[in-house]
Amino acid sequence: MKYIKHFGTREGYSSEENVLMSYDAFLAHFNDEDKSEVRWKGRLKNENEETEDNDEVLTVKALKFTTEGDATVGLSSKGSYPNFEISRDGKTWETWNDGSNVYATQSISADSPLYVRGDNPNGINKSLSKCASFKMRGDEVSCKGDIMYLLSYTKDLDTIPCDCCYGNMFIGCSNLVSAPKLSATTLTESCYNCMFYNCTSLVNAPELPATTLTKSCYNGMFNGCSNLVSAPKLSATTVAEGCCRDMFANCTSLITAPKLYATTLASYCYGSMFLNCSSLVNAPELPATTLASFCYDYMFHGCTSLITAPKLSATTLVDNCYCSMFSDCKKLQSITCLYEGSDLFSYTFFWLNNVSSDGTFYKSPNAQWNDMRRGGSYIPEGWSVEVYQG
């Protein structure tokens, strides 16, 4: 059901009372003489309610695991034993850890969801080798709610407190079809590392609102999500070493990539980001003009549906910045590179190896490098060279 938020006047409530109501039930008009008079039909929104994309209203500050069939949800804990509580109705809670660091697997069904919340102010996982991970079996499972409720269900948090906090959290959950909200705006090193690795049923990914990234924060986050069709919105304007490395690697159903905003890059920041995304037909614009070593390393390697490369606007390059960037993009037929220096090789090792046998290379009118050299580390054999007129 579709809901709308309405600000109006109702006896007993302030003029700014937040009202959540069914769109179909919304009946309102303003009196010509008194614009504050509102006739409406609906219900008040509780301050603890959260409206999800599927329009379900969650009244509990917890993750909610649901299924239309039969499934199980467990927690594999390897050296990390978070304080989690579970509930069947969102009202009566019990500690999940049985006291001996065992988290009993829970069965869920269409009529019996599972709620999970936590009190972990210092974080959940502290390393990637010692971490707690959800394990799921059976029919498709949806997970709704905000992941931050695993840190606290009494406070609204926007800062992740430790490195690796959510690392590997849903790794290998092949029947997970819907992911929780990721609302944090302040990240830490490897905080989401491999979080949804090999979640092969995941179709849509949650938005990522953080504008400043940290080392390896999204590393391998959706690697192997072979049914992921659309990438989440990335708001980041500041990147860090390896922040998006392997982020969407092997997402073989991904068609369109998210927009990338950073203009100054870091080492390996986008390395292998779309590796083997064989359905990718639209690459993101790359506005960066200040590059770093290996910043685009293998970024689009194996994107066999990609025909046109994004414009490479940087006029000055850094060693290995374009290393194997488009290698094995077998349909690639066009690339625009505005580099103005005197040599390519130290920056473009195998960057156009095994691409289409014919295509067009657009170079800067100020380029000083030799465009007669051919091969996978220069300009492919059979390609023509033209001066960019944009």
Whole-angstrom distance, CA of residue 138 vs CA of residue 72 = 6
pTM for the model stands at 0.84
Low-confidence ranges of the chain (pLDDT < 50): 1-57
**What gap in Å lies between CA 300 and CA 311, rounded to an integer?**
13
Distance CA 108, CA 114 (A): 6
Pairing of strands 334-337, 359-363: parallel
Count the neighbouring beta carbons within 10 Å of the beta carbon of residue 153: 22
Task: Identify the pLDDT of residue 85.
Answer: 98
Q: Which two tokens stand for residue 215?
A: 């080392």
Query: What's the pLDDT at 240?
Result: 98
In this prediction, residue 344 carries a pLDDT of 83
Domain ranges of the chain: 1-45, 203-390
CB atoms within 10 A of CB 26: 15
Structure-token match 């220096």, residue found:
341
What pLDDT score was predicted for residue 58?
61
Condensed to tens digits (0 to 9), the pLDDT of residues 72-114 reads 999 999 888 999 999 999 999 999 998 888 999 999 999 999 9
Tokens standing for residue 331: 């349909």
CB atoms closer than 10 angstroms to residue 185: 13
Q: Which letter, b or e, does each residue of 265-291 get, where b requires 16 or more Cβ atoms within 10 Å of its Cβ? A: bbbbbbbbbbbbbbbbeebbebebeeb
| Half-sphere exposure (Cβ direction) of 241: Cα atoms closer than 13 Å | 4
> Residue type at 123?
G
Q: What integer pLDDT is reported at residue 373 of this predicted model?
A: 81
Q: pLDDT by residue (tens digit) across 5-40?
A: 333 333 333 333 333 333 333 333 333 333 333 332
Give pLDDT, residue 47: 37
Rounded Cα gap, residues 182 and 224, in angstroms: 19
Residue 351 identity? W
CB atoms within 10 A of CB 385: 12
